[in-house]
Amino acid sequence: MKKKKSIFARFYVALCLVFFYLPILVTIIFSFNSSKSLTRFSGFSLRWYQELLTNTEISKAVYVSVTIAILATVISTALGTITAIGLSRSRKVIRELLMEVNNIPILNPDIVTAIGMMLLFSSIGLVKGYFTMLLAHIAFCTPYVITSVYPKVRNLDPNLANAAMDLGATPFQALWKVIVPMIKDGIFAGALLAFTMSFDDFVISYFVSGNGVKNISIIVYNMTKRINPTINALSALVILVIVVILILAQVWPKLKKSRLNRIPPRMRSFIAGAMVMLVIVALYQWGAVAKGERVLKVYNAGEYMDLSLLEDFQDEYHCTVIYETFESNEMMYTKLSAGESYDILIPSDYMIERLIKEDYLQYLDWDMIQNKGNLLENVLDHSYDPGNRYSCPYFWGTVGILYDKTVVDEEDLKQGWDLLINPKYKGNLYMYDSERDSFMIALKALGYSMNTTDPDEIQAAYEWLVNQRNIMEPIYAGDDVIDNMVSGNKAIAVVYSGDAAYIMSENPNLEYLTPSQGTNIWYDAMVIMRECSEQKLAHEFIDFMLREENAAANTLEVGYTSPVTAAYEEMVEGDYAEISAYIPDDSNPRSEIFRYQDPKVKALYAELWTKIKAEQS
């Protein structure tokens, strides 16, 4: 019986280890994949490591993550240790009260802490960047250090410090030579926890950073918007570093006894001081901008620009571009409403309409944009910005159905959006995990406007989506639909035209359809914020992006349809002529552009979408 229990226990441990470490192993294996696929291994290659080492943005992010983590750990450990010692000598009422207060940041959701800190820094006029990220990390790491150190302090004899001072020690010597050595295990545990929390953090860092300062978490998150296997290479290197640190942690005590004791104390102090100076100099170099150099702050969606164009622009106009990215239009608006300032934004049509109404933007001076004649006529003068007084088109496209020609019957395509409720394809569908796009599909399938505010029409669309969920058992997916469709995991998916173009270039069995009932024709555009201090440079940037060669390079890198005539024609007449997604169909009178939604209507859509997702079996 005991033998059986032992075998079961070993099997359970082995299963846990596989569960914990299999994802790490898969990540390492696919970091050597020769293709972009994240699910199919095509062959061994160091391609993604080469791209990683030449990517300056990732290098800067690694630097920010490491230095922030080290500084936050050192400062929060010192503050937490001193606080824990002070609490141990306080009155019981005060001690218990402060310990409860200390637990609030630990239990508080990260997003609440992040928004609170962002509002605090904005209200006091503190420019967001490296310093604000460091302050935020110190703030949320210190409570963890206090929690780790305090129990060790409580177990000490309260008379130890007094005894040391009775024997001639100063208060500092009593602290440093008596108290600290006896609680070093708690201090080390707190420091390790602080470093881990700081190095891993994404949510708080995202909201309190600015001026182009990003840590690894922010960079990786932005990379997930499109297929980017460089993430695997970066993850593999991080894992390697962690393994090396763990090995050194085991070897260090032995090394300390055998080698370090031979180094004179003054030499050790000199080495420690030199390391601190190196960090300070590096931070100064990081934060320094050439005096008098023009700076342009650009805010764009993640993985939505050929970054080499930014380097070309900086070289040509002798300026610095601070380039930041956002996850969604709503996330961008949150930062703007909290007081964040940029020069150029690249939002979507409905958000541009909102920013115009709320007076965030300034008029474009089209006389300063020499390449305006390069734009296609049909991308101008739309409902979100009549006359293009505020915006210059950046990319455009449609939402449609991507389908496998070898699975989906051609006759079924005549159903349009109703193909997505055809039981023949049950369990073979990816729906885009977006209330806006999903309700657009349902409303169009029912013959309604996707901008309707009629509660009865919205309710009918809700029932259509519930019916679809029950019949089709769809998978509600995000950007992961790209790799899944490339791999042929399902036959049908709702995607944006730019993503469809990339997927079709990787999987020739796929085709793109914009249903006859109409769809969403979307536009993303460049706008200049009202408080922009570099108006001439901002107009020069827009003009630079409209150059034919730059627009073509941007389209080739990102995969979305350019509004510039030459770049558009290069895509539809060249090697990509057979990829229909590169040619958005804007001729259907039933197709529409999203309009800005009234908050009450938007709340209704959000409530119904939550019900659909919550009731999914």
Helical residues (DSSP H) of 575-614, grouped into ranges: 599-614
Query: What does the pLDDT look like over 194-213, one tens digit per residue?
Result: 998 998 888 899 888 887 78
Give the pLDDT confidence score for residue 281 in this predicted structure: 55
- Provide CB contacts within 8 A for 29, sequence distance 6+: 41
Tokens of 574: 């060249």
Q: What average pLDDT is seen over the chain? A: 84
Q: Is the confidence at residue 120, as pLDDT, over 60?
A: yes
Q: Are residues 64 and 110 in the same domain?
A: yes
Question: 73-93 burial, b for 16+ CB within 10 Å, e for fewer?
Answer: bbbbbebbbebbbebbeeeee
480 in any annotated domain: yes
156 in any annotated domain: yes
Read off φ and ψ for residue 426, nearest 5 degrees: -55, 135
CA distance 313 to 303: 18
**3-class secondary structure, 155:** coil
Tokens of 99: 């310990």
Q: Are residues 326 and 418 in the same domain?
A: no
Tokens of 176: 């440093």
Burial of residue 182 (number of CB atoms within 10 Å: 0-12, 13-18, 19+) = middle
pLDDT category of residue 39 using cuts at 50, 70 and 90: low
Position of tokens 């177990």? 155
Tokens of 82: 């001193």
Q: Are residues 401 and 391 in the same domain?
A: no
**Nearest of 549, 542, 223, 576 to residue 393 by alpha carbon:** 542
Please compute the mean of the pLDDT values over residues 563-568 and round it to a whole number: 93
Tally of CB atoms within 10 A around 488: 15
Task: Name the residue with higher pLDDT: 82 or 40.
Answer: 82
Give the pLDDT confidence score for residue 288 in this predicted structure: 44
Tokens of 611: 């019900």
Q: Are residues 95 and 136 in the same domain?
A: yes
Q: Are residues 280 and 347 in the same domain?
A: no
Count structural domains, the chain: 3
CA 318 distance to own-chain centroid:
29
**3-class secondary structure, 398:** strand
Give the pLDDT confidence score for residue 291 in this predicted structure: 40
Q: Is the confidence at residue 552, as pLDDT, over 80?
A: yes
Q: Is the confidence at residue 19, as pLDDT, over 90?
A: no
* Most confident segment among 42-46, 344-348, 586-590: 344-348
Q: Please report the beta strands in 333-442, taking only residues with DSSP state E, as ranges in sequence order.
A: 344-345, 391-404, 429-432
CA distance 496 to 499: 5
CA 365 distance to own-chain centroid:
33
Query: What does the pLDDT look like over 414-428, one tens digit per residue?
Result: 999 999 999 999 999
Q: Are residues 503 and 610 in the same domain?
A: yes
Query: What does the pLDDT look like over 123-159, one tens digit per residue?
Result: 888 888 889 999 999 999 999 999 998 888 887 777 7
Give the pLDDT confidence score for residue 582 in this predicted structure: 66
Give the pLDDT confidence score for residue 265 in this predicted structure: 61
Give the pLDDT confidence score for residue 273 in this predicted structure: 61
252 in any annotated domain: no
Give the pLDDT confidence score for residue 45 in this predicted structure: 82
CA distance 394 to 391: 9
Query: What does the pLDDT look like over 318-342, one tens digit per residue?
Result: 999 989 888 889 889 988 887 788 9
Please report, for residues 6, 78, 318, the alpha-carbon distance to residue 537 in angstroms, rounded to integers and kept in the order given: 71, 45, 10
**β-pair type (294-301, 391-404):** unpaired
Query: What does the pLDDT look like over 372-413, one tens digit per residue?
Result: 999 999 999 999 999 999 999 999 999 999 999 999 999 999
Give the pLDDT confidence score for residue 340 in this predicted structure: 82
Check: CB of residue 193 under 8 Å from CB of residue 142: no
Query: What does the pLDDT look like over 166-181, one tens digit per residue?
Result: 677 777 777 777 777 7
Q: Are residues 96 and 223 in the same domain?
A: yes
Q: Is the confidence at residue 74, as pLDDT, over 60?
A: yes
Q: Are residues 510 and 532 in the same domain?
A: no
Please compute the mean of the pLDDT values over residues 33-54 and round it to a whole number: 77
Tokens of 216: 């690894």
509 in any annotated domain: yes
Give the pLDDT confidence score for residue 285 in this predicted structure: 46
Tokens of 91: 């009155």
pLDDT category of residue 244 using cuts at 50, 70 and 90: confident
Check: CB of residue 528 under 8 Å from CB of residue 346: no
CATH number for position 375: 3.40.190.10
Tokens of 4: 């059986």
**β-pair type (344-345, 521-528):** antiparallel
Check: CB of residue 475 under 8 Å from CB of residue 429: yes
Q: Is the confidence at residue 113, as pLDDT, over 80?
A: yes
- Provide CB contacts within 8 A for 66, sequence distance 6+: 199
597: containing domain: 397-522+578-614
Q: Is the confidence at residue 31, as pLDDT, over 60?
A: yes
Tally of CB atoms within 10 A around 260: 10
Q: Are residues 452 and 593 in the same domain?
A: yes
39 in any annotated domain: no
Q: Is the confidence at residue 106, as pLDDT, over 60?
A: yes
Check: CB of residue 24 under 8 Å from CB of residue 239: yes
Check: CB of residue 233 under 8 Å from CB of residue 55: no
86 in any annotated domain: yes
Read off φ and ψ for residue 34, nearest 5 degrees: -75, -20
Total residues belonging to the chain:
617
**β-pair type (492-496, 391-404):** antiparallel
Residues facing residue 496 across a β-bridge: 399
CATH number for position 66: 1.10.3720.10
Sign of CA dihedral 571, 572, 575, 579: positive
Please compute the mean of the pLDDT values over residues 77-91 and round it to a whole number: 85
**β-pair type (492-496, 429-432):** parallel
CA distance 602 to 615: 20
Check: CB of residue 489 under 8 Å from CB of residue 38: no
Give the pLDDT confidence score for residue 286 in this predicted structure: 46
Position of tokens 């997930």? 224
**β-pair type (391-404, 521-528):** antiparallel
Give the pLDDT confidence score for residue 25 in this predicted structure: 84
CA distance 534 to 536: 6
Q: Are residues 157 and 303 in the same domain?
A: no
Query: What does the pLDDT look like over 500-529, one tens digit per residue?
Result: 888 888 888 999 999 999 999 999 999 999
Q: Are residues 337 and 298 in the same domain?
A: yes
Give the pTM.
0.76
Q: Are residues 549 and 607 in the same domain?
A: no
405 in any annotated domain: yes
CA distance 467 to 332: 34
**Nearest of 393, 579, 588, 611 to residue 498 by alpha carbon:** 579
Residues facing residue 522 across a β-bridge: 397
Q: What percent of the chain has pLDDT over 70?
A: 88
336 in any annotated domain: yes
